[in-house]
Structure 1
């Protein structure tokens, strides 16, 4: 494999139990999941009641905490997109899940559209947003220069054909529009601590695994540039708790919280938070 080498072997802890390789792409700096399932096989790896972004369930403490944190996160996300100059306040959210962010933005003056491939999650989202959510195939139905903001909250890592996808986002954005991408950061302290048990690898649903340099290189090739990088502090706690479950079989709340806290403390100086938000503009 020219300019590629094996970085780590990781198990799918949540669905299949299969083991995948993480291959380092030295041209970009990101990691690739190998082998990547064929497009028609990918849906079976999402068939789990524990796939939390596709459900509004609150069955246990973990899910209840997730939803409480999500309320806070929605406000932070809205504040971020409100900070950009937007003529028409037209928002497209890719991989919108059950539609909470779209609903919140819609209630606060944004004209919203969403893309969600999962049919059950899409039904829930459409009830919340007055049918603003389409399936993945309908992304091509939007006209050029349609949106002020396009957001991908922990979605880019799921998408095949990375460069084609980002090129199309460039087409859909207005000249002064912003692309907002949030992804896990495999250079974070919690990733290094948990190694193969790091929950944010989430193979094979996550096809790619990014760091700061890889995102910058990727978007630069599609006439974008990274303008700002912001941490997602809560992600370190969520990921660490889940990683503890994968490693030990039980959700060690104290240890998971401690590793999440330690990761955030180290990220203050290193800038390598567990997850990062990239604000990206056209060059």
Structure 2
């Protein structure tokens, strides 16, 4: 008996990896795994292990047609992407692999493969604007070292800065200092916990949810969230286009999303906000099943067997 051919959708971030089984264009099963980490000795090989591990748990014996992966990190240029694509073709016995930034799959999911601007705000922050004739403009997405303004790492980093100022006496200790102590323990030992950790970016970004939670009652946390909303609005407005949607865990917080909407309309009064039709995994599923990539054709690396 010949098994039915399915496609594979993968949303690969530093906080988590989500893998979905796609049958006739619809997600029918999914599995979550740990986020990808990139160090000096890792890259495409580490990414390959992180992407295929959840697949082995959800549908190890399926016949695979296309695989679409939205990635949050760079893999050493064309050679790194090609190595990852070849590895996926081999391990999953796939016929086609599509690799792109997670903002590409997020855009396809949030706007249903239609023109407009999508802001992806998770660990990082990036906006992609696509016009009907295929022109694109990407804003930010520079990573935690010098970009991703208003993203999860950005918020978490500023929350920890405020917490440490309260801890060492530069300011009065407040809710952020107390919450950081609950999460990380002795703040005096925070450097030895975070700096050697492979998942230090995810740990810092994870503190963003505490900043968001405290922003309803703590003015220091509220100021961080206000500034984050303004940064995200600036990123989105710079991408061009009036039809706007969003994706990512950060904007699931009502307070940040409302602040973002207000800041965006102040910058671009003609902006029309649309609740996302889907997320990055939905977008990867749609692209994996599609024979016509439309405006995304120049934004994806496509490798076939």
**TM-score of the aligned structures, taking structure 1 as reference length:** 0.32
Higher relative contact order (CA 8 A, sep 6+): 2
